[in-house]
Amino acid sequence: MKLETEKIENALLVTPVVRRLDASVALRFKEAVTAVIQQGETQLVLDFSRVDFIDSSCLGALISLLKSLSGKGQLVLCSLNGNIKAMFALTRMDRVFTLCSDRSEALAAIKRGS
């Protein structure tokens, strides 16, 4: 699973380089981001600007990543397209995750929460 990462102040911006985050890549996605967390990164922004579609297996992976931070960090999602936002609203995951429109808003949310 290819991820682009960029350290900005105290946050790590993680961009999955894939169009679809579905069952075929969800486990590799979770493992790749978990490895970043295990390296000590606890303030994460996941940038979905390159992702067109996610399914329930990706939602499960995101929940697992949130739990792996176990309250010792933040996971903020940004740049979700309309269909992905609708899925978060439908499943009420928009109440669990911090969703931001773009990177700058997500980085500001991390800063406020630190």
Q: Mean per-residue pLDDT for 9-24?
A: 96
- Are 89 and 80 contacting, i.e. CB atoms less than 8 angstroms apart? no
State the pLDDT at residue 71: 82
The model carries a pTM of 0.94
pLDDT per residue as tens digits for the range 69-85: 988 999 999 999 999 99
Task: Tell me how far the alpha carbon of residue 111 is from its chain's centroid.
Answer: 16
Give 3-state DSSP helix, strand, coil % of the chain, rounded to 5: 45, 25, 30
Are 46 and 14 in contact by the 8 Å Cβ rule? The answer is yes
Domains of the chain, residue spans = 3-113
> What is the dotted CATH code of the domain comprising 3-113?
3.30.750.24
Average the pLDDT over 30-36 and give the result: 96
